[in-house]
Structure 1
Amino acid sequence: MIYCGIDWAEKHHDVALVDNTGQLLAKRRISDDASGYQLLLELLAEYGDTEGSPIPVAIETSRGLLVAVLRSGKRHVFAVNPMAAARYRDRHGVSRKKSDPGDAFVLANILRTDMPMHRPLPTDTDLARAIAVLARAQQDATWNRQQIANQLRSLLREYYPAALDAFTGWANGLCRPEARELLKVAPTPTQAARLTRTQLRSALKRAGRSRGIEAEADRLQKVFRGDYATQSRLVEDALGKQALALLRQLQAACLAADELAEAVEESFLQHSDAEVILSFPGLGVQLGARMLAEIGDDRERFTDARGLKAYAGAAPVTRASGKKHHVGRRVIKNDRLNHAGYLWAFSALRSSPGAEAHYRRRREQGDWHAAAQRHLFNRMIGQLYHCLQTSHLFDENVAFPSQLATAA
């Protein structure tokens, strides 16, 4: 059997082929373009690569055009973590010097010696991979939006506390269209104090508000004309210009998050697993799409629910050495899936009596809030695995029979 290792780089890639004995059969450097990809396929075909029995490939990345070319057909592509590859490098030399051809040789030998210890890239459908791209982009846009909002809030605390008091009662705070429109009209407290009720009503209407405009305009005028400490005029104007710059970034981030959310919803609802995922309490379109993006629709990716729980960081890990025995949470995990699971468990508390009873029981046993939520996520993601495998919808009575009886 032949094994292939590819050391990935930005402009070129080093390729190495080894046989069962570890002998180097061929090495080649290819460019990162269509001609280089064709040269790679020809090299693999020269050493027996066919559609029925393709040569397995180890590479240090799971994305990009090169990986897309290699994943065509039935080929197994193994994305080896660069840190793991660095540990294997010490087996072939003690100098700790890095070389691209040498790393390609090391990657090929990883498959030759330890292929069962590594997991190939899942064979997800194109729709699932497209949902993964959109869901991760929307998640990044949401995090970026919140980061900019935190920067703007920190800046407003320095010179404009009236704005923070005015927006405190609104959900999403500075990310709301009304808040952004008012800051655009009045970026300084001096300008805000001069706003009339008519100007405030117009700003609220431009932001899309249609109800309670009169009462909200009166409230905002009272807050903006309240007694607050102020900066000097020149410093206040300078801080207002800085706030406007951050406001433009926040508006762009909000627009990107909203547009990506619409794209995620459109793609996610077309997937066959959407009905099963949305049947679970606490999972909406956006959060359900994030779960599908990280789990995928390859039914053979995880051998059992325990593998998925470990991948999500929900299952505890046991460390035992001598007389020491420690059971704790997992640090190495899929961070995106773990974050989505935390939100899922938190949302399920209000929509599932069984989930709430399970959470309360864990708290009574001494778990802190985060540990109890992690335990609930561990149970619910196991149920999700079962429902996806069997195409069954979520059933509260089947999922939490003992908790519901106790709650009753």
Structure 2
Amino acid sequence: MEITELPAPVFCGVDWAETHHDVALVDASGKQLAKQRIGDDAAGFGQLMDLLTEHGDRKESPIPVAIETSRGLLVAALRATGRPVYSINPLAVARYRDRHSVARKKSDAIDAAALANILRVDMAAHRHLPADSELAQTIAVLARAQQDAVWDRNQAHNKLRSQLREFYPSILAAFADHRFGLFAREARTILAAAPTPTAAALLTRRQLRALLKRAGRSRGIEVEADRLLEVFRRDYLHHAPQVEAAFGQQTAALLRQLDTACANAEQLEAATSEAFDQHPDAHVITSFPGLGSLTGARVLAEIGDDRSRFANAGSLKAYAGSAPVTRASGKSCVVTSRRVKNQRLASTGYTWAFASLRGSTEARAHYDRRREAGDRHVAALRNLFNRFLGMLFFCLHHGVPYDPVKAFPNRPTPEILSAVA
């Protein structure tokens, strides 16, 4: 009986750059089989495919590729071929390079070989990029862009508010008790019409009513106009007229930035929610208390819909940063929060857990128990988020909605529920 010899495994490393990429191939023994520099274009990708095919790349047994990024056209094209693509942290590459060179030499070709060798010796210690659906990848792009837009909006708001504290206390006093503060359309509309406190004091009751209507207000316009008129005409300290006018010019520029940031966040929110509602996992995710279309889209964007991405619920919790880290050495044992995590998912988890306190008596009771046990506010919310993630992992794998009985098996008595409601 003739024994067919299996082909030796080959590993590929790609050190990417803006205009070109260095490629290295090594075999199971660590011998470098090939190296090549390719361009950052379709022709360069074709050269990479030809090089892989030349060294045994087949559809049924594709050569794995290691690269230092998870984004870009090259990564998208590699994932489209169906091969496992590993995104290696640049810090890990630097540590591996130091294992083989005490002279600390470095080049793009050396980094490409180091990436290939990482797969050769430590592939099991790294996670390849998930095989998410096209819709899940679309939601990830939109949700992350919307989250960035919200952060940009908050930054623009803080800059504007800091500027107004320098010379315009009346506008801050006028909207100090408003739910949205300077984010409110009324505040931004009035600020655009009167960028200085002197201009605000000259506004008439009729002009204020018109501005409130322009901002979209339909009720209580007369009362609100009278209140704003009284606030703007109080006695305040002022800068010299020319200095105040200069501050007004700067305020108008900052206001335009805030208006643009608000419009971007609103437009991306609508697009994100629309895409998320089309995903088959949407009904499972939004069945959890504290999750709506937008926050649910942010969760799905970070965990994806590839069910093989996380081996168990513990892996998902570690990825989200909700699972604690234990550092033990000898008689010392310290349990701390996880710092290395998906920051976007962790940020969404805080919002998710906090919002669930009002919509779920079970979640509120769990939070209160953690607080009574000595946890601070953030730690108690993190523990609640950790519990939700475990249930979310189960629900997504079984296609069932959230069940508070299974999520909180030790449910409080009706007396406790009525007390915390």
Decide: shared fold, TM above 0.5.
yes
Distance in 2 between the 1:49 and 1:176 partners? 58
Alignment gaps of 5+ in structure 1? none
Aligned counterpart in structure 2 of residue 51 of structure 1, from 53, 59, 82: 59
Query: Could you state the TM-score of these two structures normalised by the residue count of structure 2?
Result: 0.96
Aligned counterpart in structure 1 of residue 284 of structure 2, from 276, 280, 288: 276
**Is 1:304 matched up with 2:304?**
no
Mapping 1:331-370, distance limit 5 Å:
331-370=339-378
Structure 2 equivalent of residue 219 of structure 1: 227
Mapping 1:2-401, distance limit 5 Å:
2-401=10-409
Determine helix, strand or coil for the equivalent of 2:124.
Answer: helix
Aligned counterpart in structure 2 of residue 405 of structure 1, from 405, 409, 413: 413
Number of residue pairs the alignment of both structures matches: 408
Shift of 1:286: 0.8
Distance in 1 between the 2:229 and 2:258 partners? 24
Distance in 2 between the 1:171 and 1:23 partners? 65
Distance in 1 between the 2:88 and 2:32 partners? 20
Is the Cα contact below 8 Å between 1:52 and 1:74 reproduced in 2? no
Is the Cα contact below 8 Å between 1:314 and 1:374 reproduced in 2? yes
Determine helix, strand or coil for the equivalent of 1:7.
Answer: strand
More displaced 10-residue stretch of structure 1: 296-305 or 209-218 = 209-218
Distance in 2 between the 1:357 and 1:96 partners? 56
Is the Cα contact below 8 Å between 1:132 and 1:290 reproduced in 2? yes
Determine helix, strand or coil for the equivalent of 2:253.
Answer: helix
Determine helix, strand or coil for the equivalent of 1:3.
Answer: strand
Partner AA of 1:310 in structure 2? A
More displaced 10-residue stretch of structure 1: 205-214 or 81-90 = 205-214
Alignment RMSD (CA, Å): 0.9
1:9-39 Cα shifts (integer Å, max 9, x gaps): 1110000000000000000000001110111
Query: Could you state the TM-score of these two structures normalised by the residue count of structure 1?
Result: 0.99
Distance in 1 between the 2:411 and 2:157 partners? 40
Shift of 1:398: 2.6
Alignment gaps of 5+ in structure 2? 1-8
Among the aligned pairs, what percent are the same residue? 61
Distance in 2 between the 1:361 and 1:163 partners? 42
More displaced 10-residue stretch of structure 1: 90-99 or 8-17 = 90-99
1:360-395 Cα shifts (integer Å, max 9, x gaps): 001111111111111111101111111111111112
Distance in 1 between the 2:276 and 2:197 partners? 44
Is the Cα contact below 8 Å between 2:328 and 2:334 reproduced in 1? yes
Distance in 2 between the 1:317 and 1:92 partners? 30
Is the Cα contact below 8 Å between 1:80 and 1:118 reproduced in 2? yes
Distance in 2 between the 1:311 and 1:83 partners? 18
Determine helix, strand or coil for the equivalent of 1:71.
Answer: helix
Partner AA of 1:45 in structure 2? T
Shift of 1:170: 1.7
Runs of 4+ in 1 over 4 A off after TM superposition: none
Partner AA of 2:289 in structure 1? P
Distance in 1 between the 2:105 and 2:268 partners? 44
Partner AA of 1:37 in structure 2? F
